Homo-oligomer: A and B are copies of this chain.
Amino acid sequence: MKFAMAVDVKKLIEYGQLKFLKELLVEQEPATVLEMIKELPSEEILIVFRLLPKDTAAIVFTELETDEQLKLLSLFKEEKAKEIIENMDPDDRVELFDEMPANVVKKLLDYLSPEERKQTLTLLNFPEDSAGRIMTPYYLDVKANMTVERALEHIKKVGNTKETIYTLFAIDEDRKLSGVLELKDLIFSDSNTLIKELMNEDPIYVTVFQDREEVYQIMRDYDLLALPVTDSEKRLVGIVTIDDIVDVIEDEATEDIQKMAAVGVTESSYLHTSIWKLVKSRVFWLITLLVLESAVGFIIDGYSEVLQKITILAAFIPTINAMGGNTGGQISAIMIRSMAIGDVESSDMKKIFYKEMIIGIILGSILTVIMALRAFVSTQNIMIILSLSASLLIVILTSNLLGAFLPFFAKKIKIDPAVISGPLISTLMDLISMSVYFSVSTILLKNYL
């Protein structure tokens, strides 16, 4: 029975108890080592890596942030770097290489065996976010005419080097995918049964070029632990496993949330991202929004005479603007999320239109009443109250429909819908809101001007 004990790694290193530390490290889960490493300074991390079993070292290294990986690689002795790079999973290795300067990648490729190098280069050639990028070539293949007994022997022999042995892939002489079965099918069967009797002959698969979001939707819908990836001729080239998919879902959600808040996508974690990178990820959008928003100023400036006579109108500018942005933001977030999880499609636009027309009218009516009550506190002029309420109603209706359809429009012109939401829709709505507000007011209040 093991107990979780507090060990002061720094002290062990300081007192030179490296042999003892090495023995301890052999026993630890990679996640425990990772926790530990996050607290240690670079020199001590180097020592820990030197003592770690090489498998654990590769796993822990994989889990680090890219900037930490790059830093460590530059500090490692060449031999250590080689060992770690070699022991990483090909898909994780490609993710790291992706972030590196070309000359470093070139050097690191030299560390690999010819076969591993070929694999890595192949993976690097697939488009970003494609199935080809997240797959691993370490799958377990069997032949359709093997018996269960033979297959189990085969698994015992080669299974240790594979990413998973729980899903088995049957291929024919041309390496074409002919079936898929689970290890449990073998366990529950007689030892003389043939693989082809057990396998699903019509397995679900994706090609290397399919988007990773599709991969994840398929794996989720079919509850798969592993999904085969083939080339365009249906030759098996790799598999995607469920643990990679967990990362994909998380990445996609983070990407969506960042885009919806008008932040450029950053791969690494906040604390590990430099100030410069953080500024870069935000400043482009802020400038764009500032420039767009300042156009609103021209609209209002055009009505300066109206404002001079009826200054109370200025007091409600923020309210009208905010409510347009809020309504549009709500519905666009709903749509974007529904699109992301494959819940609504372009073909549903008509249904959505009717639904959101009605919803807009209900929401608009409720909010207009509240707005009228609020306005009454500041002014008892019925025409001003009327023009405020009418403006709000039009703004709510417009922003609700705009927020529902802009994401679809974005998708059509191949922009990520999430980019459209939030700040961008608010800014667009400010332009519309102010045009509506001052047009309506000028018409309804012409007797006061």
Q: For the complex, what is the distance from the CA of A326 to the CA of B34, rounded to whole Å? A: 36
A422 lies within 8 A of B261 (CB): yes
A262 lies within 8 A of B314 (CB): no
Q: For the complex, what is the distance from the CA of A282 to the CA of B400, rounded to whole Å? A: 11
Scan A418-449; emit 1 where CB is below 8 A from any B CB, else 0: 00011100110010001000000000000000
Give chain B residues whose Cβ lies under 8 Å from the Cβ of A245: 246
Q: Could you name 24 residue pairs across A and B whose Cβ atoms are closer than 8 Å?
A: A4-B202, A31-B221, A155-B187, A156-B187, A159-B188, A165-B184, A166-B183, A166-B184, A219-B246, A220-B243, A225-B225, A254-B341, A258-B333, A282-B331, A283-B366, A287-B367, A293-B319, A300-B314, A300-B317, A301-B378, A307-B307, A308-B308, A322-B423, A322-B430
- Smallest Cβ distance from A224 to chain B, in angstroms? 9
Candidate in A261, A321, A323, A434 with the most chain B CB atoms within 10 angstroms = A261
Give chain B residues whose Cβ lies under 8 Å from the Cβ of A331: 282
Q: For the complex, what is the distance from the CA of A78 to the CA of B198, rounded to whole Å? A: 35
Given A279-B362, A430-B322, A341:B250 Cβ within 8 A: yes
Give chain B residues whose Cβ lies under 8 Å from the Cβ of A29: 204, 222
Q: For the complex, what is the distance from the CA of A331 to the CA of B257, rounded to whole Å? A: 11
A323 lies within 8 A of B201 (CB): no
Q: For the complex, what is the distance from the CA of A256 to the CA of B255, rounded to whole Å? A: 13
Q: Is A358 an interface residue (CB 8 A)?
A: yes
Given contacts A166-B166, A294-B371, 4 further A-B contacts (CB under 8 A): A258-B334, A275-B362, A286-B326, A317-B317
| Smallest Cβ-Cβ distance to A296: which chain B residue | B318
Given A294-B374, A297-B319, A337:B257 Cβ within 8 A: yes
Give chain B residues whose Cβ lies under 8 Å from the Cβ of A307: 307, 311, 314
Given A188-B160, A307-B314, A319-B297, A2:B329 Cβ within 8 A: no
Q: Interface size class for chain A?
A: 35 or more
- Smallest Cβ distance from A438 to chain B, in angstroms? 11
Q: Which residue of the partner chain, among B63, B304, B318, contacts A430 with CB atoms under 8 Å?
A: B318
* Stretch among A117-125, A126-134, A343-351 lining the B interface: A343-351
A300 lies within 8 A of B318 (CB): yes
A287 lies within 8 A of B156 (CB): no
Copies of chain A in the complex: 2
A residues whose Cβ falls under 8 Å from a Cβ of B: 1-4, 29-31, 34, 63, 152, 155-156, 159-160, 165-166, 183-184, 187-188, 201-202, 204, 219-223, 225, 242-243, 245-247, 249-250, 253-254, 256-258, 260-263, 269-271, 275, 278-279, 282-283, 285-287, 289-291, 293-294, 296-298, 300-301, 304, 307-308, 311-312, 314-319, 321-323, 325-327, 329-338, 341, 343-344, 348, 351-352, 355, 358-359, 362-363, 366-367, 370-371, 374, 378, 421-423, 426-427, 430, 434
Q: For the complex, what is the distance from the CA of A242 to the CA of B422, rounded to whole Å? A: 33
Q: Which residue of the partner chain, among B223, B243, B250, contacts A249 with CB atoms under 8 Å?
A: B250
Instruction: Tell me if A's interface is mostly helix, strand, loop or mixed.
Output: helix
Q: For the complex, what is the distance from the CA of A298 to the CA of B316, rounded to whole Å? A: 9
Give chain B residues whose Cβ lies under 8 Å from the Cβ of A293: 318-319, 322-323
